[in-house]
Amino acid sequence: MIGVPVARLLGIEIRLQLGWVLVVALVAAIAAIQVSVVDPTVSPAIQWLLGGLVAAGFFASALIHDMSHAVLARRRGVEVRSILISFFGGTTPLDPASPDPGDDLVIAVAGPAVSVALGATLALGGMAIAAAGGQAADVVAQVLVVLAVLNLILGIVNIVPAYPLDGGRIVRAIAWRRTGRERDGWRAAGTAGRIVGLIVLAAGVALVLLGDVANGAMIALSGWFLILSARAINERIKVDELIGDLLVSDVMEVDSPTVHPGLTVDTFAAQLLDRDVPTTAIPVLHGDEVVGILGVRQVQRLRPAELAARRVEDVMARPPRLPIIAPSDGLVSAVERLQRSGLDGLPVVEHGRLVGVLTRRSIGLAVQARTGAGRADDLGAPGGRPPAPGPDDDGNHHADRGGDPGSTPGAPA
């Protein structure tokens, strides 16, 4: 699951990584210690209260950073249903992206720019309050200064030209805009990320050798992470070179069964788990509206006794975790969205109606056709089907492609 939904703001669902609990606690503790250093006479209760305010302010800063990307994306015509609040900004699986490099550049710059501006404003406010004098003013000013520093770090770190930081996305957009080819943008982002990663890694190792083991190790690990991200970009370029000219409509399955959300999972579980049956993901429709999708992985998580007791709506993936794609979308970007979602397939919708399903199997067949590889389900990613469990002895019914009462074929493209 991509984060936990916690709120809705301006019509955008806010999702939160669970690790934020540890981040907020750490920031609160550091801020409380800082307050005690500034004024030892402040009671522990007040110290922790102020620390909690700083932690809440830092979370609000991260929210503002990510919301700035989303709001500007909307103004540029990009649909944004939800965002994922990350620790220090950067790209996330739910990040809004534009097919236009100029718009994508503006969207990427928005987060760091807003964070730096907010940090500068808080710093000025803190200095103004400190100038007024007094014990209370000094404590409030210190809180504002801490928040200012956190925002400045958030903004400055994110302009480092290494993906998945916003700076890597900026490099990609600039190169893409200059050449007119997104692939060149990714190459530039990968090269920049590799160079930055090596520099950061070397700096971390140097600090370790100088005796600062803790900080050096953290910096070195950050550099190694950036290097791995650059390698992932190279893999993406290889995929782009292989299938970059294909659209979703060229690969999607158009003769897929559908299912109603109120049916029990055993209605079609056997079909999904049968390796000899090509179906790996079934769209869930309420009337003509796509409300979810159910795939092999989700069914495999259920115990045999649960198949007849659980309904489709209890198990299916639904928006915003479930991306909805169009037949005119590029296959490379659709593959990325499928991989990020962790699902077995994505529904393809045109003019509000289901026209097909893009599955890992159908992508594998496309790769097989381009490379002359073996069976599609032998391809490691993206075409393989997860290993099936043992034989199903629970009397599950096979959902027939044409006539099962709970299924209707998807409309052809």
**CATH number for the domain harbouring residue 280:** 3.10.580.10
Indicate whether 94 pLDDT > 50: yes
Residue type present at position 185: G
pLDDT band for position 412 (cuts 50, 70, 90): very low
**Is residue 217 in a domain?**
yes
Please report which confidence band the pLDDT of residue 378 belongs to, taking 50, 70 and 90 as the band edges.
Answer: very low
Domain identity same for 254 and 239: no
Please tell me whether the peptide bond between 320 and the residue prior to it is cis, using omega within 30 degrees of 0. Answer: yes
**Residue 362's pLDDT is what?**
87
- For the stretch 199-211, pLDDT in tens is 999 999 999 999 8
Chain segment 242-296, per-residue pLDDT in tens: 887 889 999 898 878 888 888 888 777 776 776 666 778 888 888 888 888 888 8
CA 267 to chain centre: 32
Structure-block tokens of residue 139: 């404590």
Cα-Cα end-to-end distance for the chain: 30
Which comes out higher in pLDDT, residue 167 or 241? Answer: 167
**Residues 137, 9 share a domain:** yes
Number of domains in the chain: 3
Same domain, 211 and 348: no
Phi, psi (degrees; rounded to nearest 5) at 8: -135, 130
Asked whether residue 106 is assigned to any structural domain, the reply reads yes
pLDDT band at 49 (very low <50, low <70, confident <90, very high): confident
pLDDT band for position 170 (cuts 50, 70, 90) = very high
In contact, 327 and 355? CB cutoff 8 Å? yes
For the stretch 172-188, pLDDT in tens is 999 999 998 888 999 99
Q: Do 152 and 41 lie in a common domain?
A: yes
State what percent of residues in the chain have pLDDT above 70: 85
Report the pLDDT value the prediction gives residue 377, as an integer from 0 to 100. Answer: 43
Burial 110-120, CB ≥16 within 10 A → b, else e: bbbbbbbebbe
Residue 389 lies in a domain: no
Task: Please check whether residues 92 and 134 belong to one and the same domain.
Answer: yes
> Structure tokens of 201?
């890694």
Note whether 234 and 281 are same-domain residues: no
On whether both 68 and 120 belong to a single domain, the answer is yes
0.75 surpassed by pTM:
no
Residue 171 lies in a domain: no
333 & 233 share domain: no
Q: Do β-strands 12-16 and 82-85 pair in parallel, antiparallel, or remain unpaired? A: parallel
Q: Among residues 316, 309, 377, which one has the least CA distance to residue 343? A: 316
Domain that holds residue 335: 248-378
pLDDT of residue 401: 33
What's the token pair of residue 310?
């659980």
